[in-house]
Amino acid sequence: MEFNVSNINVDKAHFLSAISIYLYKPHVVNKRVTTVRFASALNRDDKKYSTGTNVVDKRTLIAKNPRIYHDQDEYILSNDISVEFRPIVLYSMGTKSCCVQVSAYRFELIVHENKIRFTVFDDKVDKEMLWLKDSLLPKFIKWCQSNIENSTENTTLKLISIEEYQREYERLKFSSIHTRLFNHFGIDITHEHADPQQSNHRSSLIKSKPEFYSTKFSIIQFLFEHLLTENKSLTLSAAYDLLPNELGEQLKSENGGLKSIILSYRHAIKFDPETKLITIADPQLNSITLKKKESSKLSVKTKPCFFYAFHPNSCPLTDEQCAFFHCEK
Ligand SMILES: [Zn+2]
């Protein structure tokens, strides 16, 4: 089913900014979702969806009420004028939670016709389809039309609220709370205060952080902040020794070891193959113009800019220039 919204006067920048909002804050429009987590790596199965023109990413919508709904994984296929969401069908394994299966859908900017086309890859008119058409689409159009300054405000990834923290805490009570909270939110409950009003976010001590934590992300963030406070380069083994115990432990279960993690975050940290030293990357190299030369695929920003989020002088590039997502400080 196809819906066209005409006379929108939306340019590419506004369209991409609306997409960023929906990528990072789906809970603003989807009340079943509490937060979102991006896959830290894609496996071969995931990559088969990637074609020459589409970049694939994968995110998990974390259910607000896991007793009722499943977490939902979905692929995101994007190029610079369209983004498609393909929820991955779950064959529920005897769990009680019901699986709300939304069809695949796509937002597409048709600049020369001055319209946005919204396609739902299903002709069935059901509750889910109506949600896409009557809730998601109008919100998306509104985001497209708010000006960029305001939309940066909208994309602000605020610290998780105490309610969300409590919910996730309850939910994880019987599993490995420590590791998961640390991974998801950067919360170290070994230093937890008894008073729930008292903030125990590691993040409250420094700047706020994006919500999609992975072990790799936490490791890079730790080293990034270390490199800029100490202002000198590190060898791999020195970097390894610096890691807090939890991260060092989690690193053991990550594929490829510290070096490959660092290589996959070269927009934040640089490993020089000749000197074998680790330093902070040059943020000027993260500009869209330079990145575009490397890859024609780059379009929707799904990775956070470390300089913007964690560097005291922020990112020297503007939101538009930087190839990475500027999460609010
Ligand atoms: Zn940046």
- Looking at residue 2, its pLDDT comes to 92
pLDDT of residue 329: 44
Q: Which amino acid is at 131?
A: W
Q: And the tokens for 129?
A: 């389809």
What dotted CATH number matches 208-310?
Answer: 1.10.10
Mean pLDDT by groups of 10 residues along the chain of 329 residues: 88 85 86 81 74 76 77 84 86 54 90 92 86 92 73 38 50 43 46 35 38 73 90 92 86 84 92 94 87 59 82 87 77
Distance 308 CA to ligand 1 centre (A): 5
Q: Tell me, in angstroms, the distance from the centre of ligand 1 to residue 229's CA.
A: 19
Distance 152 CA to ligand 1 centre (A): 13
- Architecture, CATH, for domain 2-154: 2-Layer Sandwich (3.30)
Q: How far is the CA of 150 from the centre of ligand 1 (A)?
A: 18
Beta carbons within 10 angstroms of residue 224's beta carbon: 21
Write out the H or E segment, with its range, that includes residue 131: helix 127-131
Distance 101 CA to ligand 1 centre (A): 36
Distance, C-alpha 235 to centroid of its chain: 29
Distance 279 CA to ligand 1 centre (A): 17
**Is there a contact between 23 and 153 (Cβ–Cβ < 8 Å)?**
no
- Which sequence spans correspond to the domains of the chain? 2-154, 208-310
Ligand 1 centroid–CA 281 distance in Å is 12
- Ligand 1: distance of its center to the CA of 230 in Å? 21
Ligand 1 centroid–CA 208 distance in Å is 15
Q: How far is the CA of 48 from the centre of ligand 1 (A)?
A: 30
CA of 323 to the centre of ligand 1 (A): 7
Ligand 1 centroid–CA 91 distance in Å is 39
Residue reference for tokens 């990475």: 324
d(CA 168, CA 187): 11
Distance from Cα 284 to the centre of ligand 1, integer Å: 9
207 CA to centre of ligand 1 in angstroms: 15
Q: 15 CA distance to ligand 1 centroid (A)?
A: 19
Give me ligand 1 centre to Cα 309, in Å.
Answer: 8
Tell how far the Cα of 43 is from the centroid of ligand 1, in angstroms: 27
Identical fold at 2-154 and 208-310?
no
Distance 28 CA to ligand 1 centre (A): 24
Task: Please tell me the distance from the alpha carbon of residue 82 to that of residue 21, in angstroms, as a whole number.
Answer: 14
DSSP code, position 273: T
- Distance from Cα 179 to the centre of ligand 1, integer Å: 29
Alpha-carbon distance values, 260 to 251, 303, 311 (Å): 11, 17, 23
Check residue 109 and give its pLDDT. Answer: 94
Q: Give the Å distance between the CA of 196 and the centre of ligand 1.
A: 34
325 DSSP β-pair partners: 304
Question: Which pLDDT belongs to residue 309?
Answer: 83
Per-position DSSP letters for 27-62, written without gaps between them: GGT-TTEEEEEE-SS--HHHHTT--TT-EEEEEEEE
Looking at residue 7, its amino acid is: N
**How many whole angstroms from 174 Cα to the centroid of ligand 1?**
39
